[in-house]
Amino acid sequence: MDFNTSVDLCKGFESIVFDSQYTFRKILKSMSMPGKIENFDLELYPPYPLYPSTGAAVLSLFGPDTIFFSDHESDEIDSWIKFHCGSKPEAEKRKSDFALITSHNDLDINSFYPGSLKRPDISTTFIVQVKNLTNNSDKNSIKLTGPGIKDYSILQIAGFDQGILEQRNKYKFPCGFDFIFCSPEGFACIPRTTSTEGF
């Protein structure tokens, strides 16, 4: 799959209302059924290196009041997000509503805000771009248990360090972090209510 290598500030969703609702429903369904992979098939061409699914998640979830941290160094991406969403980047991780992660080799989630008992809703939500998502079962897979899952589900996230999810497990509900994983094909979510372990 080829992705756009230049930003086009006039290009976002073909239909802002319907495409945004479509994407939001996909993410919501995946969040309510942790580990379930939701395919994404809208045509969208965000600036490189964002996948269409990643760009769609941003367009659906960000707004003028959204503060986000991103690990990329692309002015094109920041300009694209600002033009379509009105959102602004934030260098201080603990102030961010969302973390847009495209390279997660050195990701330390402990630098972000997990919310508080009084305000768990203001924790950072992670949008993480990954190479591939499958429900294959092998030594690199993750076992998910918790609300929305019968018995357990299996998710394999190509190239993602399972140690990051182990960091996440130490936070006590209702505090913690929600993860939205974006691949070239779609979404899979691991909310804070889900426990993870190596398979």
The model's pLDDT over 137-192, given as tens digits with 9 standing for 90+, comes to 887 799 999 999 999 999 999 988 888 888 888 999 999 999 999 999 999 999 99
Task: Measure the CA–CA gap between 4 and 15, rounded to whole angstroms.
Answer: 19
Residue 187: C-alpha distances to residues 31, 42, 91 (Å): 9, 13, 26
User: What is the pLDDT at residue 15?
Assistant: 92
Strands 186-190 and 195-198: unpaired
Q: Is residue 142 part of a domain?
A: yes
User: What is the pLDDT at residue 199?
Assistant: 66
Percentage of the residues of the chain whose pLDDT score is greater than 90: 73
User: What is the pLDDT at residue 10?
Assistant: 42
User: What is the pLDDT at residue 74?
Assistant: 83
Q: Is residue 161 part of a domain?
A: yes
Mean per-residue pLDDT for 18-31? Answer: 96
Q: Is residue 11 part of a domain?
A: no
Q: Is residue 8 part of a domain?
A: no
Residue 53: C-alpha distances to residues 1, 6, 42 (Å): 12, 17, 8
In eight-state DSSP terms, residue 111 is: G
Biggest CA pair distance of the chain: 46
Q: What is the CATH number of the domain that holds 117?
A: 3.40.50.11310
User: What is the pLDDT at residue 7?
Assistant: 42
H or E element at residue 197: strand 195-198
The answer, yes or no, to whether residue 6 has pLDDT greater than 80, is no
Alpha helices in the chain (DSSP H): 16-32, 52-61, 75-85, 162-168
User: What is the pLDDT at residue 4?
Assistant: 47
Task: Measure the CA–CA gap between 65 and 138, rounded to whole angstroms.
Answer: 42
Task: Measure the CA–CA gap between 79 and 153, rounded to whole angstroms.
Answer: 38
Q: Is residue 199 part of a domain?
A: no
The answer, yes or no, to whether residue 128 has pLDDT greater than 70, is yes
Q: What pLDDT digit, counting tens, does each position of 8-21 carry?
A: 454 899 899 999 99
User: What is the pLDDT at residue 91?
Assistant: 86
Closest CA to 31 of 195, 146, 189: 189
| Range of the structural domain that residue 156 is part of | 16-103+113-194
User: What is the pLDDT at residue 196?
Assistant: 93
Strand partners, 101: 128
Q: What pLDDT digit, counting tens, does each position of 72-101 carry?
A: 888 899 999 999 999 989 889 999 999 999
User: What is the pLDDT at residue 3?
Assistant: 45
pLDDT band at residue 105 using 50, 70 and 90 as cut-offs: confident
Mean per-residue pLDDT for 99-115? Answer: 90
Mean per-residue pLDDT for 112-116? Answer: 95
Closest CA to 37 of 161, 195, 139, 154: 154
The total number of structural domains in the chain stands at: 1
103-128: string of b/e by CB count within 10 Å (b at 16+)?
ebeebebeebbbbeeeeeeebbbbbb
**Helix, strand or coil for residue 127?**
strand
Q: Is residue 64 part of a domain?
A: yes
